[in-house]
Amino acid sequence: MTRTRPFSTPSPDADPLRNDPLAQQLRSLGLYVVAERYRELAEEATRTKTPYTHYLGTLVSAQLAARMDRSFRERLARARFPAIKTLEEFDFSFQPNLDERAVRTLAGLEFLDERKNVLLVGPPGVGKTHLAIALGVKACAARKRVAYYQAADLMDSLALAQAAGMLPARLVELGRLHLLIIDELGYTNLDTARANLFFQVVSRMYEKGSIILTTNRRFETWADLFAGDQVIAGAILDRLLHHRHLIAINGPSYRTPDLTVMADPLQQSVAQIR
C-alpha cells in the first residue's frame, strides 16, 4: 500500500534555500537578506559585468537597511507610543501662532546631543502630544533610546516601584534613556510622594538625557500641581528650564476647531519666561 503525503507537508523542494548550503551558512550568520538575494544579484552582476566589490556592496547595504529597519521598529515598540504621529502629518497652517521653524529645528535632534529639554505648553487639542510623539519617532529613527509616558502613569508606576523597593532600579533604567517623553502633566495634581518622585526623575535626567514635557498648566500654578510645595515646584522648574526649548501653542483645538479660544493666561507666563 502506498502512503500519500498529507496536504500540509511541504515537498522537500518547496524551500529553495534548503538545498543551498551557502544560503544556510549565511542564515546561520544572521545574514538573511544576503542569503535571500545573493544568487539573483550574482546572476545580474554576471550579466551586467558589475565589479565584485559593487556586488558585495549592494548585498551588504541591503542587509544593513533591513537591520536598521528592524532596529527602528524595535525602538518604536520599546518607546510605547500610544499612537504613531509624524511631523509630516502635522498641519502647521492650522496653528499659525506655532513657531514652525523652531519645531523643524527640534526635528534635527540636536537638543538630544545637548541634553536639552523641550516644553510644549498650551491648551488641550492643539497638538502637543502629536508633536512630542513625532519628535520621539524621529529620535527612534536616529537610533536613540526613547520612552513615552503619560505623566500620571509614570508617577503611578514609580510609586508602585517605590513600594516594592524597586525605585532605584527604575530610576537607573530611566536615566539610560536619551529621551523621556512625559505627556500631559497637569491634568491632575500630584500628591507629596509623587511630587518627590517627579523631582527625582527630573534630577536623574538633568544634563544626562532630554525630557519632552507637555503641559496645559502655566508655571505659576505649578506649586498647586506639586502638592502645594513651592520648594519642590521651584526645584523641578529650575532643572527643567535650565537648558530648554519652549514651544508655546496658543490656537484652536484640532479636535474642536469651532470652539473659540479664550485669551489664555498660560501664554502670559510663557511670554514672561522667554
* Interface contacts to ligand ADP, rule CB under 6 A: 85, 89-91, 94-95, 124-130, 214, 254-255
Query: Smallest distance from the beta carbon of 146 to ligand ADP, in angstroms?
Result: 17
What is 79-137 written as a DSSP string?
A: HT-SS---STT--GGG-TTS-HHHHHHHTTTHHHHTT-EEEEE-STTSSHHHHHHHHHH
| CA 274/CA 61 separation, integer angstroms | 46
User: Which residue lies nearer to ligand ADP by CB, 129 or 162?
Assistant: 129
Query: Smallest distance from the beta carbon of 125 to Mg ion, in angstroms?
Result: 8
Query: Smallest distance from the beta carbon of 182 to ligand ADP, in angstroms?
Result: 12
User: Which residue lies nearer to ligand ADP by CB, 16 or 82?
Assistant: 82
CB-based closest residue to Mg ion:
129
User: Which residue lies nearer to ligand ADP by CB, 3 or 101?
Assistant: 101
User: Which residue lies nearer to ligand ADP by CB, 82 or 168?
Assistant: 82
| CA 216/CA 253 separation, integer angstroms | 12
Q: In the sheet that 244-248 helps form, which strands lie side by side, from edge to edge?
A: 146-150, 179-185, 210-215, 117-121, 244-248
Is the separation of the CB atoms in 168 and 201 below 8 Å?
A: no
User: Which residue lies nearer to Mg ion by CB, 75 or 128?
Assistant: 128
Report DSSP state, residue 274: -
215 is a site residue for Mg ion (CB under 5 A): no
Residue 125 binding result from ligand ADP, Mg ion, none, given CB thresholds of 5 to 8 Å by partner type: ligand ADP
Q: How many Cα atoms occupy the beta-carbon half-sphere of 242 within 13 Å?
A: 13
| CA 180/CA 117 separation, integer angstroms | 9
User: Which residue lies nearer to ligand ADP by CB, 30 or 124?
Assistant: 124
Q: Specify the amino acid at residue 77.
A: A
Residue among 225, 230, 217, 224 at smallest CA distance from 270: 217
Cell triple for 217: 498648566
Query: Smallest distance from the beta carbon of 274 to ligand ADP, in angstroms?
Result: 20
Query: Smallest distance from the beta carbon of 264 to ligand ADP, in angstroms?
Result: 13
Binding residues for Mg ion restricted to 112-131, rule: CB under 5 A: 128-129
Residue 32 binding result from ligand ADP, Mg ion, none, given CB thresholds of 5 to 8 Å by partner type: none
Residue 95 binding result from ligand ADP, Mg ion, none, given CB thresholds of 5 to 8 Å by partner type: ligand ADP
Query: What is Dmax (Cα atoms) for the chain?
Result: 92
Q: Which residues bind Mg ion (CB under 5 A)?
A: 128-129
